[in-house]
Amino acid sequence: MSKPGFDGPLIRLNDCCWKIPRSYKPGMRVDGLIYASDELIEQVRHDQAPEQVANVATLPGIQIASFAMPDIHWGYGFTIGGVCATDPDQGGVISPGGVGYDINCGVRLVRTNLTHQEVQPHLTRLIDELFKNVPTGVGRKGKYHFDMVELRELMAEGVDYLKRRGLATEEDIENTEARGRLDGAAPGNVSDRAIQRGASQCGTLGSGNHFMEVQIVESIHDADAAAVLGLSQDQVCVMIHSGSRGLGYQVCDDALMHLRGVPEKYGIVLPDRQLACAPALSNEGRHYLGAMRAAANYAWCNRQLLMWQAREVFESVFGRPWQELGMSLMYDVAHNIAKFEEHSIDDEQRKVWVHRKGATRAFPPGHSEVPQQYRAVGQPVLIPGDMGRASWVLVGQQGSMDQTFGTTCHGAGRVLSRTKAVALAQGRRIDKELLARGVVARSQGWKGLAEEQPDAYKDVNLVVDVVHQAGLSKKVARMKPIGVIKG
What is the C-alpha separation between 268 and 411, in angstroms, rounded? 33
Q: CB of 385 within 8 A of CB of 453?
A: no
* SS3 (DSSP) at 6: coil
Q: Work out whether strand 336-345 and strand 278-279 pair parallel, antiparallel, or are unpaired.
A: unpaired
What is the C-alpha separation between 73 and 242, in angstroms, rounded? 19
> Rounded to two decimals, what is the model's pTM?
0.97
What is the C-alpha separation between 393 and 162, in angstroms, rounded? 27
Q: Quick one: fold of 11-89+104-486?
A: tRNA-splicing ligase RtcB (3.90.1860)
**Annotated catalytic residue 116:** no
Cα 283 to Cα 97, 277, 297: the distances in Å are 18, 12, 21
What is the C-alpha separation between 66 and 212, in angstroms, rounded? 32
* Closest-CA residue to 434 (of 364, 397, 481, 478): 481
Q: What is the pLDDT of residue 207?
A: 87
Rounded to 5 degrees, φ, ψ at 349 are -85, 125
Q: Which run of H or E residues covers position 356?
A: strand 348-357
Q: What is the pLDDT of residue 3?
A: 56
* Domain extent listing, the chain: 11-89+104-486
Strand partners, 11: 19
Q: Which run of H or E residues covers position 225?
A: helix 223-229
Q: What is the pLDDT of residue 2?
A: 46
In the chain, DSSP finds a helix count (H) and a strand count (E) of 17, 19
Written as one string, the DSSP assignment of 408-472 is E--S--BSS-HHHHHHHTTT--HHHHHHHTT-EEEESSHHHHHHT-GGGB--HHHHHHHHHHTTS
Q: Tell me, what amino acid is at 44? A: V
Per-residue pLDDT of the chain (487 residues; tens, 9 = 90+): 345 789 999 999 999 999 999 999 999 999 999 999 999 999 999 999 999 999 999 999 999 999 999 999 999 999 999 999 999 999 999 999 999 999 999 999 999 999 999 999 999 999 999 999 999 987 778 889 899 999 999 999 999 999 999 999 999 999 999 999 999 999 999 999 999 999 999 999 988 889 999 999 999 999 999 999 999 999 999 999 999 999 999 999 999 999 999 999 999 999 999 999 999 999 999 999 999 999 999 999 999 999 999 999 999 999 999 999 999 999 999 999 999 999 999 999 999 999 999 999 999 999 999 999 999 999 999 999 999 999 999 999 999 999 999 999 999 999 999 999 999 999 999 999 999 999 999 998 898 899 999 999 999 999 999 999 999 999 999 999 999 999 7
What is the C-alpha separation between 379 and 366, in angstroms, rounded? 9
Strand partners, 216: 236, 480
Chain-centroid distance, C-alpha 165: 26
Rounded to 5 degrees, φ, ψ at 27 are 95, -15
- Kindly name the residue from 210, 287, 367, 410 that is annotated as catalytic: 410
Cα 335 to Cα 114, 205, 362: the distances in Å are 28, 16, 11
